[in-house]
Chain A
Amino acid sequence: MAILEVQNLRKSFGRIEVLKDIGFTLEKGEVLSIIGSSGSGKTTLLRCLNFLERPDGGAIRVAGETLFDADDPATQQERQVRKKRLRFGLVFQSFNLFPQYTALKNVMLACELLARERPDYRANKREINQQIESEAKALLHKVGLANRLNSYPYQLSGGQQQRVAIARALALSPDILCFDEPTSALDPELTGEVLRVIRELKTADRTMVIVTHEMEFARNVSDKVLFMADGVIEEMGPPEQIFEHPRSERTKAFFSHMTRE
């Protein structure tokens, strides 16, 4: 069964239709890269998956469970949105770390707050919090920041901040981790370290959706590549097909435009 199933997704802002009938599926452990020129709707798609925008039509299913279906009001209750968001993680272009917390606390905060809702929280408070802390440390170690646990965001480079943000998103173990141009706000010399971390996250069971302009990276890391243009999926397939033998004229035009830059 597909871990992620997106069907006929539509979203308009006012009279502009930003997403027109988007549909794709993703198996567990697959990495999907989304490419396309700016304004084509990539960010809006990720925001719909993370319930930051409510789609106007279509459905989103995770592991067979319908999280959103425009035709079924029962799937649209405001109260349940918070739990549904936990199925997805999102790494933002602009990091959005919490400035008043250290790197470690940034990673721990949401887990701590969530743990309080566990029925056994009162009884096992200490153990639970110790567990959260050691997991957060392990995550920061994994993104290469074991020595910056107590740094505040302003004391970190952009690349380091983005790696903290990745650890923060991983802390809640989402089913699907999304990245929205994770290196676009970084100086060129800092993009490498972030891309390397993302590449190392690829394991048999971690599903990722990555919006990126880094074509070399997309080609190497992805199982599927999706080219978006004007709110539609212009072309989708394995990276070899999209990069070596694009069928659509728009895809070809996009690549020739990219290489000229």
Chain B
Amino acid sequence: MRPRFFIAEALRSIRANAAISTAATVTVLIAVFILGAFIPSFLYVQSTVDAQKEKVDINVFISDSATVQQVNGLSSNLTGLQEQGLVREFTFVSKDDALADLRQRLRDPSILEELPSNPLPASFNVLPADPEQSEQIVAEVEDHPAVDEELGVRFAADTADRLLTAARIIQWAGLALIGILLIASVLLIGNTIRLSIFARRREVEVMKLVGATNWFIRWPFVIEGVLCGIAGAALAVVLLLVIKLAVVDAWIADADSALTRNDAATIGFVWLAVLLVAAGAVVGALGSGITLRRFLRV
């Protein structure tokens, strides 16, 4: 194959069909722009939810009457669960720790001085490996004799549930949307290229009649699609960069620390740009490659 010839043919055809090439490029520009705005937003929400998931913990309250052996037994049960991979980590919180913790959180700790004795129970604070398995961990430990009968084992079942559902919905909806966007842009660019090929079907027919193979005809079209795809994606990236610098970065700088401090890792702009331009190229190649198939049966 002679790439120089095919590239020259593609450029000739872009020049000869400037209007349609522009339409294809603008199509990719719009699709990639939406994709480029959506991916970081999706990742931001996703990682925020993930960060919340990390904080789902289980408190196993220990009865004041439990013996040291019973507490040790519970502790080794938890170690067992850790070895099974259910528990990520757990820490023992003594009665004194609990009181110190409470003292820190109260605006006016002096009221604690009034207490005749420490009413707070000791506990194990357990972080599940996977928050979805919290119920299972609870079931494993709640009947242990060291566990306080009244307080038992607690975790924010409701919050956790809602959080997990939200996480799942965001994940699937996000992936579905990205998929739909990609398919839509393949179809859109395919449609635009179909116009171009339809206008040139006689040309394709003649090429076949003088002995061109299908790939000989297809390469320039595919390269044309790739060039339009890359051009459209590159323009979208420039547009996204302008918006990022002018709007989003300024907004983040203005927002209060709760927002900026977040550990939400989104995606680096360079990687996003590379990803989008690659997506533009693939979409362009697929769009023209698939569309051309119908016209090659001469």
The reply to whether chain A is a binding partner of chain B is: no
Using CB atoms and an 8 Å cutoff, list the residues of chain A in contact with chain B: none
